[in-house]
Structure 1
Amino acid sequence: MKTLDIRDLVHFSDDEPRRRTLIEGERLWSEIVCLEGAQGVGPIRDDGADGIVVVLAGEVATQVGKGRARMKQWETVEVPAGLELTMRNASDEPAVVLLVVAPPPSD
C-alpha cells in the first residue's frame, strides 16, 4: 500500500490553474486542481465517466450541466457522465479541489 500526502501536490501559479494527477489507475483517476485569483477550468466533459468534486480549501463556483453552486471547504458534488463541469475560484483566497473520476477519462 502506498500513501500520498495531498499537500505535496498543492502548488499555485499566477498564470494558470495548476492540475496535478493524484492517482492514475485502471479503474480510477484523480487530480488536485489549484485555483488562484479568478482562475478556473472547464468546461470539461466525459460521456463515459462519473466524477465527484470535493473542495479541500477555499470557495469554488461550480457548474455541473445547468446546475450551479458556490461550494465551500469540504462540500462535494457529483458529476454524472455526459454533463459538463466548470469550476472557478470564487473568493480572494486560493482554492484547492479534488476531482475523482471513474473510469479514468477517455482523453
Structure 2
Amino acid sequence: MPHCTIEYAKSLEQQIQPSALMTLVYQATASSDLFEAENIKTRCMAFEHHMRGDQILDFIHVTLRILSGRSVEQKQALSQAVLDQLKQTQLQGVSFTVGVREMHRDIYAKYVS
C-alpha cells in the first residue's frame, strides 16, 4: 500500500518519460514515512484525448489510494509532497493535481499468488 496512479496527457511524453513520473511519485511517497517503500505500487496511464472546459491542456493527475487510518494532516502532507516533486519537472503549461483517496481497511482485500 499505497496504490499510486498517474494519469497524464500523452503529448507530455515528448518532454518527460513515464518512468520519470513514476520515480518522482515513488520518491515523494516513500519519503513520507507513512509506508514501507517495497509496498508502494505506482502505475501510469496516458490519455490521448482530454479536455478541460473547452480547451485541450496538458495535465498530470496523481491519485493515491491508501488504507484508512491516516490523519488529515498526514494526507495533506502526502499530497503536497507529491505535488512538490511534480513541480520540480519544470514543465510549462501543465496542470498538476494530486488527490488522496481512502480505502476502508476492513473492506480491502488482497491476494498474491
Same fold (TM over 0.5): no
Pick the structure with more strand per residue.
1
Normalization by structure 1: what TM-score? 0.30
Greater C-alpha radius of gyration:
2
Pick the structure with more helix per residue.
2
